Structure formats: C-alpha cells, structure tokens
Structure 1
Amino acid sequence: MLPNNGSIRKYVDLHIHTTFSDGSYTVKEVMEAAVARGLSAISITDHDCTDAYPLALQLGRSMGIEVIPGVELSSDIQGTDIHILGYYVDITCPALINKLKEMKAARYLRAQKIVSNLNKQGVDLRFDTVLSVAGLGAIGRPHIAAAMLKEELVYSFREAFEKYIGYGLPAYVEKLKMQPREVFDLVKQAGGIPVLAHPAVTKVDERIPEFIRDGLMGIEVYHPEHPRAAERHYLKICKKYHLAYTGGSDFHYSANHHKSDIGLPRTPGGTVKSLKQKLVPAL
C-alpha cells in the first residue's frame, strides 16, 4: 500500500473496477482509497459500463481528485480477446449508451446460458445466486465463479474456470463480439480516446500498426503484469507512433484477479497530460 503523503500526488491510476462491473469496491470506497494513496487523478474503467458516473465525478470534485470518465470494452480478432480502454468518453452520448445497454443485455443472456450448461453437467448452480453476487454490475464469468464458490460447488475460483467455465470448456459461452475497429469508432464517437489495454498480456504487438490505422490513439504502458522491460518497450512504441501512454492497477480487490492495489504500479501524472493532448477541441 502506498503511504499517504503529499510527495506522491504526481501519481495517478487510470484502470480501476468497481461493483458496477466485477470489482468489489463501491465508487465511494475507490475514491476514498485514491485519497488515502495521494493520487491526483483516477479513471474508473468498468467493463461495458459507465454507471459509476456521475457519482465518481461528484466525489472527485469534493475530494480534490481529477476523475476521467472511462470504460473498458471487449473486442475480438481471430479468437483473441482484446480489451480497449476509452478515456474522456461522454457518458451521455446516445451511441455509447445504446451499445452499453445492448452489451449488458447480452451479458445477462450469456450468463443464463452458462448456468444452463452447468446445470446440464450436473452442477446445480442457481441463477438467482449469480444475480445476487453480481448486484448492480454487468454480469461476467467472475460473478458465476463467485456464485459457484458461494454455493460450495467448487473449492476455488480457479477450479470454476479450469474445470467448467474457461475458454473452450463445455459450459463456456461466447460473449457478444465487436471488432477492435468498431470499439475504436464507438469510443471516438463518444468524444473519447481509445487505448489498448495491457498489451503484454494480449500479445498482439504485430497488430498495433493496423490498430493505429483503424483509430487506436494510445497504449496502456503501466500495468501489474507489465515488467519494467515491457514498460520500456511500449513507451518506445508510443513515442514512435505519437500515441498517448497510460497505466493503472487494473484493480478489482480480489485474489481472483491481478494482485494489485489502487495506485500500483505507480503511474506518472504525465499519462494524463498525454491523453489530454489527444483530445479534439470542441468546435
């Protein structure tokens, strides 16, 4: 945990999840943690959801922290799951609102199908339990795994994925797919900046020039699963292609996700400046 002192106000965290997707902190708890860690700016990037706003913006003003409206969207290219972060999105944009509603409905139907597949395999999981675990969040496989744990149908979160709901397993159901270009277009239509999330995890470096041609404007450089060599590598790519560079904890506060805390890895405040330089001035 980072110490609470003024010397680290130059740091930010631009990749945080809340209970509105698959995180376990409420918006208020996230904001309080950001204050405690002395962060100058944050972005809540829930999966397929911007419901954390406008409360986060309101709390940010009262707490003295800059809050950048954000979202994390999934895309697929030739079977590879690619996550795109959108920053400075207009949460009132009709196109974005409609697509997020569509994706939330698709997540609900997908979860129902996964539970049905589990039931067919003799795993007596109740969909009501999944709903109670997900709460207000957009339902995802982590909620289903947590529900399986809650009903003592598996011994661990990992077992749920490796035995039942992981990619290619009998209970797995494909999610609603968008092409990366569709996501770039959607984020930009909402006035935002599309950024490739944790590229060292997805390993699609060879497609970065293609993504840039299609509208990508930045790369997440700092991430819990990016060693220093990866940070240097992606900073060079950002410099070469004149891209924004970002970073964050990808915080979920769960042993089932990346073992990171809000504010770690330390992401320099210059990332916010690099994003702002990509904003198109309003006419």
Structure 2
Amino acid sequence: MFEEPVSNQKNVDLHIHTIYSDGVCTVKEVMDTAFAKGLKAISITDHDCTDAYPLATELGAELGIEVISGVELSSEIEGTDIHILGYFVDPNNPAFSRKLMEMKEARYIRAQKMVENLNKQGIDLRFETVLSIAGVGAIGRPHIAAAMLKEELVYSFREAFDRYIGYGLPAYVEKLKMHPKEVFDLIKGAGGVPVLAHPGVTQVDQRIPEFVRDGLQGIEVYHTEHPSTAERHYIRIAKKHNLAVTGGSDFHSSNHNKSEIGYPSVPYSTVQSLKSRLGISIKEV
C-alpha cells in the first residue's frame, strides 16, 4: 500500500556519493554533515561500490544516525542509461560482491583504454595521474576529466567531456552493460530493494510499467533536479504501481548540480516505505 510522505518527521538523505566513487567527501565528512543537518537516516549510494558502508555504520552508531546499505548501479536499454539504486543490500552476498568486483575491474580497463585513446590523439595524459585522482574510488570518466584539467590539457571539466570522452567521441570507450532486469535481480538477490534513480533526468516514464514487471520496487521521487511538478508526477506514478517512494540529494560535491546533503527535504516515511517492501518491522530509531 502506498503511503503519502508526511512532513512532521525528521528528514533523511538516501542518495549520497563519497570518494569511494565520484564524490569528493570522505565518509566521515558525509556523516558529520548529516549530523549537523539533523538527518535521521542516510544511505551512501556510491557507483558500483559498497566500500563506504562499514565505516558509515560505525560512525552512524556514534552519531545516532541510521545508516542504510546502498549502491547505485548502471544499466542500459536501447542506448539509454538507466541508473538503479539498491537499498538494504547485503554487501557480503557472494553473487553481489562478485559482480561488483567484475564491474570494478571493467571500470579500470575502460579508463585505461580511454587514456590510451587520448594519447593516440596527442593528449599527453598519464594513467597514473588518473589513478592518483581516483584514489580509493571506483574509477570513471569524471576522474579522467579531472586529471586532464589538473594537467591543463583542457580549460574546463566540461570541455573534457564535450571534446574527448563524451559518448561517441574519439576517446570514448563503451562501459560494461547490464539490462535493468539484470540489475533488479542482482539487488533483490542480495536482499535489497531496487529503486529507479532520478527518473525526471533520464526520462524513461514509458518504460516504468515494464520495469515494474521485471522487478522494480521503488522510485526516487525527491531529487535535486526534480522540481515540485516532477515530484507530484512521480508520486502519482508510485501510487499507480505501488512503488516505494525514496529521495535524496545525489550529492557528489557542492559544485555538482548544486547539490547539498539534506536537500531536498525527504521524510523518514521513505525509509519506512522501503522497509515495508522487505517485511522489516518499522520502529523509531
């Protein structure tokens, strides 16, 4: 049964990135900010990675913040990127952890090939520079762009994408592809709830009934790039398909889509909505 979020609760942020993927903040910095904002619960949803979860859980216990295991996985259907959030996943599930390792290795190889392609075009970028910027994170195109900017090979982060590493450009390399259903199954197999991320950005409304049939259980209604009209629209879709409602900032850094931890306001009922899908008893934390 769909539950309309209520406003008289403490808020949560269920979409945050750290240095373990393409965010700029450490886990501690994220947790300290969440505490300062008075958030009741958070989920760190790094790309293809759950490495932040153990420390986040430890810090959450100290700060009185509920930490929900999370991840953001990429899928593709007919050339369209579909991002899917997984909540309450077991990071130690064998099939799940094996797949994440496969994706991590694929990311490394892809980044290596993109740097090689740049070199062939006369762009003198060393892969070691990209690795140093990525640090512990799941390496990706943002790290390549940042390395190019650091080495003054481009004038801006955007130029790196627009001229070199954007889709279909000379240095671009295809990434590991999964169908959305494969991602839904992977998340559910690890005990989690699959949620469609920022649907207002990806514009895949027409596919939502298909996704629901394939195992989708939730939809991200509240997001930095969703105006109030989009929120109302996706609440109606959630009601129609009996989907859990979630939301979060999609925070990477203050310069990324002007996102900020704790904004937009997301009520704790979203966590309850997820828990109800798993039969978890709902209690105050």
Report the counterpart of residue 93 of structure 1 in structure 2. 93
Report the counterpart of residue 40 of structure 1 in structure 2. 40
Letter of the 1:247 counterpart? G
- Matches of 1:244 and 1:113, distance apart in 2: 39
Change (3 A) 1:244 1:254: same
Letter of the 1:265 counterpart? P
- Matches of 1:84 and 1:244, distance apart in 2: 13
| 2:232 matches 1:229 | no
Q: Which runs of 4+ in 1 moved over 4 A?
A: none
- Matches of 1:262 and 1:103, distance apart in 2: 27
- Matches of 2:180 and 2:46, distance apart in 1: 18
Report the counterpart of residue 257 of structure 2 in structure 1. 258
Letter of the 2:233 counterpart? H
Change (3 A) 1:148 1:8: farther
Report the counterpart of residue 4 of structure 1 in structure 2. none
Change (3 A) 1:28 1:9: farther
Task: Please give the per-residue CA displacement for 1:262-281, whole angstroms capped at 9, x wherever unaligned.
Answer: 00111111111111110146
Report the counterpart of residue 78 of structure 2 in structure 1. 78
Report the counterpart of residue 203 of structure 1 in structure 2. 203
Report the counterpart of residue 50 of structure 1 in structure 2. 50
Percent of aligned positions that are identical? 74
- Matches of 2:280 and 2:67, distance apart in 1: 19
1:163 Cα deviation (Å)? 0.7
| 2:177 matches 1:177 | yes
1:9 Cα deviation (Å)? 6.4
- Matches of 2:200 and 2:168, distance apart in 1: 23
Letter of the 1:62 counterpart? E
Change (3 A) 1:268 1:281: closer
Letter of the 1:36 counterpart? A
Q: How do residues 1-283 of structure 1 correspond to structure 2 at under 5 angstroms?
A: 10-255=10-255, 257-280=256-279
Q: Which runs of 5 or more structure 1 residues have no equivalent in the other structure?
A: 1-6
CA contact (8 A) 1:9 1:39 kept: no
Deviates more, 1:53-62 or 1:195-204: 53-62
CA contact (8 A) 2:48 2:104 kept: yes
- Matches of 1:209 and 1:163, distance apart in 2: 37
- Matches of 1:252 and 1:187, distance apart in 2: 23
What's the RMSD between the two structures over aligned residues?
1.3
- Matches of 2:82 and 2:244, distance apart in 1: 18
- Matches of 1:112 and 1:254, distance apart in 2: 28
Task: Please give the per-residue CA displacement for 1:202-248, whole angstroms capped at 9, x wherever unaligned.
Answer: 00000000000000000000001101000000001111111100000
Q: Which runs of 5 or more structure 2 residues have no equivalent in the other structure?
A: 1-6
CA contact (8 A) 1:9 1:38 kept: no
Task: Please give the per-residue CA displacement for 1:58-102, whole angstroms capped at 9, x wherever unaligned.
Answer: 111111000000000000000000000000001110011000000
- Matches of 1:19 and 1:222, distance apart in 2: 23
For these two proteins, the number of residue pairs brought into alignment is: 275
CA contact (8 A) 1:163 1:169 kept: yes
CA contact (8 A) 2:184 2:194 kept: yes
- Matches of 1:122 and 1:259, distance apart in 2: 34
User: Aligned to 1:54, what secondary structure does the other structure show?
Assistant: helix
- Matches of 1:50 and 1:22, distance apart in 2: 13
Change (3 A) 1:252 1:146: same
CA contact (8 A) 1:75 1:180 kept: yes
TM-score (norm: length of structure 2):
0.94
TM-score (norm: length of structure 1):
0.95
